[in-house]
């Protein structure tokens, strides 16, 4: 970056990141309170906000990173603050926005979807470049190839731009993170099934607006779409069925029972899905019962040993630990093979439904 400087800038001259959808990014009040407390104790940290000169408005600046700090500064009635200013291109502004969102919103699925939408819109407008799509690429065949303004992209090319990637322990393959893949599918669902996933997520209480809820809506609507098409319904009938399935998921997530499941998810092994055909639920329930039985038998055998861990010879402790790890790895490998089969995507070449351009 050329011309990096720290400048004292009036708060009124700072504008949001042009790729940040202001209506969708609610301020986290807890973060603001912590910042105000910090300012009261040690003053404002000049240089903690990143920006660029506004490309069209002289004397104005666009924030790349630090939106909460600016809001806190305004509430603290600061006149001006020290900002790190540099010439930043669209790609840098998008990536810095994505980094800030990950920190501030902890991968809120609505924010993640909007971030992916911003990247796709910028790509279609020619403001950024994504990696070229190879139709023969494994990821393209699995996840689908999409087009915007006659430009092709995939979940993998968007994830690569944002660096939302991980390396599969099983295959060693670099893949999009699960949250990225779910948000990518959710962003395109309006075109594919006629369901606005974000709109349905907003009907769920904020604490339950999770990747789990997003995936549940996607699973239910895809199944309803497939069943409706098999039944020979018209295109409008298929969309009605898909939206009815999405509404059923919303109702489930709003219920008290489902609330308890979500809130206790960290302490319980639960994977409830929306309503599905009986045979699917039967398979799911059978798997759940098998898992619970396995865990019950496991603890039944291991619990009596635990009080004696401190008295066991080192070679015995080591051999038990080895057996546990090898057993866990074997079970993991076998289950992941089946999970990968369920995760397989049908390749589709479609154009996303036009969306409102993301602007400040």
Residue 284 confidence (pLDDT): 54
Residue 301 confidence (pLDDT): 64
Nearest to 193 by CA among 165, 235, 138, 150: 235
Q: Which two tokens stand for residue 337?
A: 């093979």
- DSSP letter at 19 equals T
* Cα–Cα distance measured from residue 100 to residue 188, given in angstroms and rounded to the nearest whole number: 24
State the fold for domain 5-101.
3.90.1530
Q: Which helix (H) or strand (E) segment is 52 a member of?
A: strand 49-53
* Cα–Cα distance measured from residue 156 to residue 139, given in angstroms and rounded to the nearest whole number: 7
Classify 50 as helix, strand or coil: strand
Angle between helices 109-124 and 211-230 (to 10 degrees): 70
Longest dimension (CA), the chain: 74
* Cα–Cα distance measured from residue 180 to residue 161, given in angstroms and rounded to the nearest whole number: 12
Beta bridge partners of 152: 147
Residue 282 confidence (pLDDT): 53
Residue located via tokens 């969309």: 239
* Cα–Cα distance measured from residue 106 to residue 265, given in angstroms and rounded to the nearest whole number: 17
Residue 329 confidence (pLDDT): 80
- DSSP letter at 322 equals H
* Cα–Cα distance measured from residue 108 to residue 126, given in angstroms and rounded to the nearest whole number: 27
pLDDT digits (tens, 9 = 90+) for 192-230: 888 999 999 989 888 888 888 899 999 999 999 998 898
Residue 134 confidence (pLDDT): 79
Classify 165 as helix, strand or coil: strand
Q: Which two tokens stand for residue 122?
A: 């910028």
Nearest to 249 by CA among 277, 282, 281, 215: 215
Model confidence, pTM: 0.67
Q: Which two tokens stand for residue 173?
A: 């393959």
Residue 300 confidence (pLDDT): 61
* Cα–Cα distance measured from residue 213 to residue 274, given in angstroms and rounded to the nearest whole number: 9
Residue 286 confidence (pLDDT): 58
Low-confidence ranges of the chain (pLDDT < 70): 1-2, 22-26, 104-107, 138-142, 256-308, 338-360
* Cα–Cα distance measured from residue 230 to residue 356, given in angstroms and rounded to the nearest whole number: 33
| Domain range summary for the chain, segments of one domain joined by + | 5-101, 107-193+346-360, 198-276, 285-343
- Say if residues 28 and 106 touch (Cβ distance below 8 Å): no
Nearest to 146 by CA among 193, 90, 187: 187
């Amino acid at each position: 970056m050329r011309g990096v400087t720290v400048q004292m800038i009036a708060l009124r001259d700072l504008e949001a990141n042009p790729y940040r959808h202001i209506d969708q990014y609610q301020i986290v009040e807890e973060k603001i309170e912590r910042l105000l407390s910090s300012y009261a104790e040690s003053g404002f940290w000049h240089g903690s906000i990143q920006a660029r000169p506004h490309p069209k408005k002289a004397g104005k600046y666009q924030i790349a990173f630090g939106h909460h700090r600016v809001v806190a500064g305004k509430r603290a009635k600061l006149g001006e603050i020290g900002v790190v200013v540099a010439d930043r291109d669209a790609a840098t502004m998008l990536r810095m926005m994505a980094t800030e969102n990950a920190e501030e919103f902890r991968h809120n699925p609505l924010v993640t979807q909007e971030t992916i939408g911003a990247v796709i819109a910028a790509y279609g407008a020619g403001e950024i470049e994504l990696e070229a799509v190879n139709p023969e690429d494994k990821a393209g065949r699995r996840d689908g190839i999409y087009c915007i303004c006659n430009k092709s992209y995939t979940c993998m090319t968007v994830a690569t731009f944002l660096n939302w990637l991980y390396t599969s322990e099983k295959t060693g393959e670099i893949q999009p993170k699960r949250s990225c893949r779910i948000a990518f599918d959710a962003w395109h669902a309006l075109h594919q099934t006629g369901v606005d996933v974000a709109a349905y997520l907003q009907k769920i209480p904020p604490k339950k607006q999770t990747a789990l809820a997003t995936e549940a809506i996607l699973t239910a609507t895809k199944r309803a779409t497939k069943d409706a098409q098999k039944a020979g319904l018209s295109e409008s009938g298929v969309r009605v069925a898909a939206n009815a399935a999405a509404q059923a998921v919303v109702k489930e997530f709003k219920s008290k029972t489902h609330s308890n499941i979500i809130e206790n998810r960290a302490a319980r092994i639960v994977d409830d899905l929306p309503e599905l055909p009986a045979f699917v639920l039967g398979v799911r329930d059978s798997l759940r019962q098998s898992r619970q039985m396995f865990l019950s038998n496991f603890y039944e055998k291991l619990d009596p040993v635990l009080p004696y861990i401190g008295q066991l010879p080192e070679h015995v402790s080591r051999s038990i630990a080895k057996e546990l790890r090898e057993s866990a790895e074997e079970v993991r490998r076998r289950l992941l093979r089946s999970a990968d089969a369920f995760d397989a995507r049908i390749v589709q070449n479609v154009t996303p439904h036009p969306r409102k351009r993301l602007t400040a």
